[in-house]
Chain A
Amino acid sequence: MNGRDMTPALAVEGLAVFHGDTALVRDVSFAIAPGGVLTLLGESGSGKSLLAQAIMGNLPSSLRCAGRVHIAGDSTAAADARSRHAGWGRRLALLPQEPWLALDPTMKVGAQVAETYELVAGGPRGDARVRTDRALASLGLADAAHKYPFMISGGMAQRVAFLATHAAGAPLMIIDEPTKGLDANRRGEVLDLLLAARREGMSLLCITHDIWLARALGGQLAVMLKGEVIEQGESAQVLAAPRQEYTRRLLAADPASWSTPQATHPSTSADALVRIEGIGKAFGPHTLFSGIDAVIGAGEIVAVAGPSGSGKTSFGNIVLGLLRPDSGRVVRAPQLAPTAFQKIQQDPGAAFAPRVTLRQSLRDLVKLHRLDWAELETLLERMRLEPALLDRLPHQVSGGELQRIALARVLLMKPALIFADEPTSRLDPVTQQDVFALLLEHVRASGCALLLVTHDTDIVDRIASRRIVLG
């Protein structure tokens, strides 16, 4: 298809976003042909989400933008956000990240989708219901129409959100991190959804740090770094032969391209840290797992595997002693201190007291256990963290930095076992590789065991020496 003699579905000219005098996004230009796809690839902080917000006309009030945005031939100044608001849903739609959070929890699925047909697309009510039922059925959601969002799975919620944003027939959709934190099956579902939308003739602007998705979607690819598009071209071509050093690094950070693991020594029962004897857990009538036996020895890296909802986090929490099993027991080696088992959480932003500076949180810890502040400083330095970061509140620090601070905090305790619960699912690939490299380096140096939960089978294959399978 030749896009040149057609009006592009979306074109952006010299778009920039400023905070005061600092440019957060600089001089970005691109065009998406009708029915085309552009994937914006970049790490957190590269400005790719700000760019999308600027196109939508939805920037925080403390930021201003410059440049021009053309939507299907209608040209507006980027700063004139208001005139683009009228097109929301009809000409331009946004599928937010973690879309299950964007659904109204008090409203049935069918009604939420019908609402868009009725109010945004502007059809009569009866007609809207018919179209809703047809649309839900086409995505295999016919049974879900009378359910509330909390009654359906995350993948179904994503399809419902897609329908609700798409119902008014916007030919252009901006999709924000559609695969963030999803396991392989769910990623496949999302891809099918996007490919189906493409077949219908929709134009897509997809923001992601998922290289797998960028490759599978095809179309155009733009790589962003520090607010600038540094490389742009046919997706297959850029991914096969990147011209920029940074793009090469980004591709290398994909877990699928990590080097194969060093073998860790197998555990012997002599240095077993914890014995898990026939534990089981159920929530209400739903049994997560039962009769799981395992022994974790010092220095082992063990992955907990199983489909979504199989209780991987609950299993880890039982091992840590945070949760009581319904049956069986967990026996720790007797010489271990009560704080010998530590956890690294999925969302580092939620792992620190939210209204206390990081310095205060860490100082409390050092004081409590009579540790050495200098040791913490060395750790932070090895994690390549600026000491000045500690004077901020947790939400003022980026996810990658915060996860490294969380890692330093855990390592300071000289743990015998670390339970890492999806430690990088909210981080971009470069940061993910960084955090894993640091984690593994310290785990190997200190001889501490690692119990890992991740949805990413590539990571499991490359890191873990053994798996505990649930479900």
Chain B
Amino acid sequence: MTMHTLSSDDFIDPAAGRRRPGRAQISGMVLLAAIACFAVFGPWLIGIDPAVQQLERYLEAPSLAHPLGLDQLGRSALARLAHAAQLSLALALISVLSAAIPGTLLGLLAAWRGGWLERVLAAIADAVLALPGLLLVLLLAAFAPGGFWPLYVGISLALWVEYFRVVRAATRILMASPHVEAARLLGFGPLHIVRRHLLPELLPRLFTLMRFGFAGAVLAMAALGFVGVGLQPPTAELGVMMIELLPYYGEAPWLIGAPVLVLFLTLLGLLLLSPETEAA
């Protein structure tokens, strides 16, 4: 209920429960689908090795064979962009999922069991929160510079806390609700209660967190690549491409413009996905 007015049984609108996606959400979905197609099928469709150099053709302007031209080492910019999109988005997705799944499970466990287990988990979560996420990644990256694993583990470790806290808080309220009480009296076990009573309430919130988390992970990786801690050249990754291409901004602005645009469109698509009720 959004407003406390005259509430009554006088009028029950059966359509009120159904939610149709709005125009913004549909454009967000279309945009994300297009980017996903580019990332998944792009490398294969373009069929050019992103690492092959043709030094004599450096910074060549866009042509039919190379729609985004060639970069400072004569590599196909479009092929590199497709590979970069694939790597960045896959990494972000894996990081978000590997933060969301344990975060959610631990949140459920803490709220369900309570007692010392909840206190210990909450203390760990607070300790992680006290540490800036990027610092954690930098710390891990120091052990294995330029690798994929420190990035992934670091981002997941920094992100799971949000899921844990949101799920724990919401679950505690739900566990005290009359419908969960009724389900327990009727003999339903934890699995049923999670599936029918908790998840349907939690998923929309989790999805919101995941959208922001995904955007954050893409940005964090680009930022880490930019300061030289993340993945290193010649790997094609959005952040790495941006650093590599920044010096050539004057001669070939389209080269650096392309990864920036892909990142921008991905974030825009994710933000557009938010339901209108949430936008306010």
Interface residues of A, Cβ cutoff 8 Å to B: 19, 24, 44-50, 52-53, 56, 58, 60, 62-63, 94, 96-97, 101-102, 176, 207, 320, 322, 338-339, 341-343, 345, 347, 350-356, 360-361, 364-365, 368-369, 392-393, 395-400, 406, 409, 413
Whether A343 and B4, one on each chain, are in contact in the complex, defined by CB atoms closer than 8 angstroms, is no
Say whether B187 faces chain A, with CB atoms less than 8 Å apart: yes
Q: List residues 153-193 of chain B with CB under 8 A from any CB of chain A.
A: 177-179, 181-188, 192
List 6 additional A-B contacts (Cβ < 8 Å) besides A50-B10, A53-B5, A347-B178. Answer: A62-B13, A207-B6, A351-B178, A353-B197, A395-B17, A398-B9
Do A322 and B181 contact each other (CB < 8 Å), given the known contacts A339-B186, A353-B197?
yes
Are B5's CB and A96's CB within 8 A?
yes
> Which 10 residue pairs across A and B have the least CB separation, nearest first?
A49-B8, A44-B9, A355-B200, A339-B187, A350-B178, A398-B9, A49-B6, A50-B10, A345-B178, A353-B196
Task: Check B200 against A345 for contact (C-beta < 8 Å).
Answer: no
Please report the C-alpha to C-alpha distance between residue A354 and residue B198 in the assembled complex, in whole angstroms.
10
Whether the Cβ atoms of A351 and B11 lie closer than 8 Å is no
Residue numbers in A under 8 Å from B177 (CB-CB) = 350
- What residue of chain B has the Cβ atom nearest to residue A24's Cβ? B11
B194-206 interface code vs A (CB 8 A; 1 in, 0 out): 0011001100000
- What string of 1s and 0s marks CB contacts (under 8 Å) between B1-45 and chain A? 000111111111110110000000000000000000000000000
Would A350 and B179 be within 8 Å (CB), given that A392-B14, A396-B16 are in contact?
yes
Q: Which of B6, B10, B182, B187 contacts A24 (CB 8 A)?
A: B10
Across the two chains, which residue of chain A brings its CB closest to B7?
A97
A63: B residues at CB distance < 8 A? 11
The complex places the Cα of A101 from the Cα of B7 at a distance, in Å, of: 12
Chain B nearest CB from A450 CB (Å) reads: 15
Min CB distance B187 to A, Å, is: 4
Q: Which residues of A contact B183 (CB under 8 A)?
A: 353
**Chain B positions within 8 Å of A176 at CB level:** 6
Q: Chain B nearest CB: distance from A40 CB in Å?
A: 12
Q: Which residues of A contact B5 (CB under 8 A)?
A: 53, 58, 94, 96
- Min CB distance A412 to B, Å, is 9
* Cα(A384)–Cα(B263), bound, Å: 58
Known A-B contacts A19-B11, A356-B196, A392-B14; A320 and B185 likewise in contact (beta carbons under 8 Å): yes
Q: Are B186 and A50 in contact (CB under 8 A)?
A: no
Q: Which residues of A contact B4 (CB under 8 A)?
A: 96, 101-102
Q: How many B residues touch the partner, as a band? A: 20 to 34
Residues of B close to A62: CB separation below 8 A: 13
A406 to B178, CA, bound (A): 12
Nearest-neighbor residue (CB-CB) of A409 within chain B: B186
Contact A364 B196 (CB under 8 A): yes
Q: Are A342 and B185 in contact (CB under 8 A)?
A: yes
* Residues of B with C-beta under 8 A to A341: 185
Contact assessment for A413 and B186 in the assembled complex, using a CB-CB cutoff below 8 Å = yes
B179 x A354 contact (CB < 8 A): yes
Chain B hits for A339, CB < 8 A = 185-187
Question: With A and B bound together, what is the CA distance between A354 and B184 in angstroms?
Answer: 16
Q: How far is the CA of A96 from the CA of B1 in the complex (A)?
A: 14
Whether the Cβ atoms of A322 and B185 lie closer than 8 Å is yes
Select one of A24, A46, A368 contacting B192, CB under 8 A. Answer: A368
Listed A/B pairs (9) with beta-carbon separation below 8 Å: A50-B6, A50-B8, A320-B185, A354-B179, A356-B196, A365-B188, A396-B16, A396-B17, A399-B9
Bound state CA distance, A56 and B184, in angstroms? 43
Contacting residues, chain B, for A354 (C-beta < 8 A)? 179, 200-201
Does A343 lie within 8 Å of B6, measured CB to CB?
Answer: no
Q: In the complex, A63 Cα to B187 Cα: how many Å?
A: 42
**For A63, A342, A351, A360, which residue has the most chain B Cβ atoms within 10 angstroms?**
A351
A353-B185 contact in complex given A49-B10, A50-B8, C-beta closer than 8 Å? no
Min C-beta distance of B18 to chain A, whole Å: 9
Q: Let me know if B192 and A364 touch, CB within 8 A.
A: yes
Contact of A369 with B9 at beta-carbon distance under 8 Å, contacts A345-B178, A353-B197 already known = no
Q: Report the Cα distance A58→B3, complex, angstroms.
A: 11
Q: Do A60 and B11 touch (CB < 8 A)?
A: yes
In the assembled complex, which residues on chain A have CB atoms less than 8 Å from the CB atom of B9?
44-45, 398-400
Query: Which chain B residues lie closer than 8 Å to A97 at the CB level?
Result: 6-7
| Distance in angstroms between the alpha carbons of A342 and B178 in the assembled complex | 12
Distance of A322 Cα from B180 Cα, bound (Å): 11
Considering the chains assembled together, what is the distance between the CA atoms of A409 and B187 in angstroms? 12
In chain B, what residue has the closest Cβ to A174? B6
Distance between Cα atoms of A413 and B183 in the complex (Å): 12
Minimum CB distance partner of A401 in chain B: B9
- Given A354-B201, A355-B201, A409-B186, A48–B179 Cβ distance below 8 Å? no
Q: Is the CB of A356 within 8 A of B200?
A: yes
With both chains docked as a complex, state the minimum distance between the C-beta of B125 and any C-beta of chain A, in angstroms. Answer: 27
One digit per residue, 1 when the CB lies within 8 angstroms of any chain A CB and 0 when it does not, for chain B 45-65 equals 000000000000000000000
CB-CB under 8 A from B14, the residues of chain A are 392, 396
**Minimum Cβ distance to chain A for residue B248 (Å):** 53
Q: Which residues of B contact A45 (CB under 8 A)?
A: 9-10
Name the residue of chain A whose CB is nearest to the CB of B9. A44
Tell me, in angstroms, the Cα distance from A66 to B161 when the chains sit together: 54
On chain A, the residues within 8 Å of B12 by CB distance are: 395-398
**Residues in chain B near residue A347, CB distance under 8 A:** 178
Q: Indicate the member of B4, B9, B181 with the most A CB atoms within 10 Å.
A: B9
Give bound CA distance, A399 to B183, whole Å. Answer: 19
Cross-interface CB contact of B187 among A101, A368, A396, cutoff 8 Å:
A368
B188: which A residues are within 8 A, CB to CB?
Answer: 364-365, 368
**Bound Cα distance A46, B185 (Å):** 34
A66 to B5, CA, bound (A): 21
Given A19-B13, A364-B192, check contact A44 B185 (CB 8 Å): no
Highest count of chain B CB atoms <10 Å: which of A44, A322, A338, A361: A361
The chain A residue sitting closest to B199, CB to CB, is: A355
Shortest beta-carbon distance from B97 to chain A in Å: 23
Set of chain A residues within 8 Å of B197, measured between Cβ atoms: 353
**Which interface residue of B5, B6, B7, B13 has the most chain A CB atoms within 10 A?**
B6
Compute how far the CA of A364 lies from the CA of B196 in the bound complex, rounded to whole angstroms.
Answer: 10
Distance A98 CA – B30 CA, assembled complex (angstroms): 46
Instruction: Please give, as numbers and ranges, the residues of chain B lying within 8 Å of A207 by CB-CB distance.
Output: 6
Please state if A50 and B11 are interface contacts (CB–CB under 8 Å): yes
Q: Pick the contact of B8 from A19, A44, A322 — CB < 8 Å?
A: A44
Please tell me which one of the listed residues A46, A52, A352, A353 contacts residue B6 in the complex, with CB atoms under 8 A apart: A52
A345 to B185, CA, bound (A): 12
Q: Mark B74-105, 1 if CB is under 8 A from A, else 0.
A: 00000000000000000000000000000000
Cα-based distance from A361 to B178 in the complex (angstroms): 14
